[in-house]
Amino acid sequence: MQIDSTMISIIEDICTNGSLSILELESKYNFTKRQLRYCIEKIDEYLMSEGFNLIVNDSEGFFAINHERCNELMGKISSIKVKNYYFSKEERIRLIILFIISKEEELSLQHFISALKVSKNTILNDIKAAQQKAFRG
């Protein structure tokens, strides 16, 4: 199960604050209701796969995670940040630029695929975005 930096941040925010409203999450992460719902579904899938309770959406529009297990969950997330972290698009673009600038050998698509753990098409799109970003300034 893949979990990205935004999902980790949402879990951390909910654990830290006890609960957060839909509006607070939409505003903080600049999400639409649909984007937030999708992200919460992905977080729920991750939590279930790791044996944690699902995020609860109460009738008043607040999200919460079982508070007793938040410390355990935060420890698990800390290890994910090190082991199984998946870079966001912006992070991948910055890393591609860094790889190219600091290259010591010829770089191939396979180098990027292996280092960033994404598909060939994703890398090709990210390289195009990196070129645009580099030439924009």
Reported as a single tens digit per residue, the pLDDT across 20-36 is 888 999 999 999 989 99
Residues 65 and 73 sit within 8 Å (Cβ to Cβ): yes
User: Which tens digits make up the pLDDT trace of 77-135?
Assistant: 777 665 567 788 999 999 999 998 888 888 899 999 988 889 999 999 999 999 998 88
Task: Tell me, yes or no, whether 50 and 98 share the same domain.
Answer: no
Element (H, E) at 69: none
What pLDDT score does 81 carry? 60
User: Which tens digits make up the pLDDT trace of 22-73?
Assistant: 899 999 999 998 999 899 888 888 888 888 876 777 666 788 777 777 888 8
Range of the domain at 119: 89-136
How far apart, in Å, do the first and last CA atoms of the chain sit? 36
Domain total of the chain: 2
What pLDDT score does 103 carry? 83
Q: In angstroms, rounded to a whole number, what is the distance separating the alpha carbons of residues 4 and 8? A: 6
Choose the final residue of a domain: 83, 101, 128: 83
What pLDDT score does 2 carry? 72
Task: Tell me, yes or no, whether 78 and 112 share the same domain.
Answer: no
Task: Tell me, yes or no, whether 74 and 27 share the same domain.
Answer: yes
